[in-house]
A and B are shown apart, each in its own frame.
Chain A
């Protein structure tokens, strides 16, 4: 979707176990949900 929105040079950083030990951990594990940093640039 980032590309379709016009962004370029898209990078995804390493995953974080955002929900580990939190109340939402079970649901996060079920769907393999992790947090990620993203970087993208507007052409120009």
Chain B
């Protein structure tokens, strides 16, 4: 994972927004990644948990692994979901932490926020909130979170060092970061890293 900012940050951000705008509004579209229930099964999510969710809560899921697999969330924990998208992982987190816990999902794509907020209402979750914001500037107070989760988001952020600094800031001392992301076994040429299209396609 390179710590150098090698692309135009704002241009990359807009391209990511456009890609996930499509995933929010047309989840059955053709993408270079799997989505929805097929993907959740592939990544080892608990089938009973996923099956209990309505289609609208799952269809725009586009994660890369299961951030809950290393450590289950405990009841009452406060969770931040960085890049919450359509809300799939946030809904699973909300169920795990229960009514005494809280989940704040943060996303920069308005269509994803509209979807996650309306689905939270449909599910009747009172312990979940979705806020508009960037991973590099989380709209969460210092030390608020017991756990930060994220799924397939950090690889799309140009300034990963700033994202980790923000996650560190919002975690309480002793808090956990549980995230899923991709890693490459063979080096990607620098020219490819500098090509924005290759980040999102």
Nearest A residue to B180, CB-CB: A37
One digit per residue, 1 when the CB lies within 8 angstroms of any chain B CB and 0 when it does not, for chain A 21-38 equals 111100100111111111
Bound CA span A28–B142, Å: 37
- CB within 8 Å of B: which of A3-25? 4-7, 11, 13, 16-24
Interface size on B, residues (CB 8 A): 44
- State whether A39 touches B177 (Cβ < 8 A): yes
Interface size on A, residues (CB 8 A): 33
- State whether A18 touches B43 (Cβ < 8 A): yes
Contacts known (A18-B43, A18-B182); A5 close to B33, Cβ less than 8 A: no
Residues of A within 8 A of B188 (CB): 31
Contacts known (A6-B168, A36-B182, A36-B183); A23 close to B176, Cβ less than 8 A: no
Give the B-binding residues of A (Cβ under 8 A): 1-2, 4-7, 11, 13, 16-24, 27, 30-44
Please list 21 pairs of residues, one from A and one from B, whose beta carbons are closer than 8 Å in the complex, sorted by A's number: A1-B160, A2-B177, A5-B161, A7-B168, A16-B42, A24-B32, A31-B184, A34-B183, A34-B185, A35-B152, A35-B180, A36-B180, A37-B69, A38-B177, A41-B176, A42-B168, A42-B172, A42-B176, A43-B174, A44-B172, A44-B174
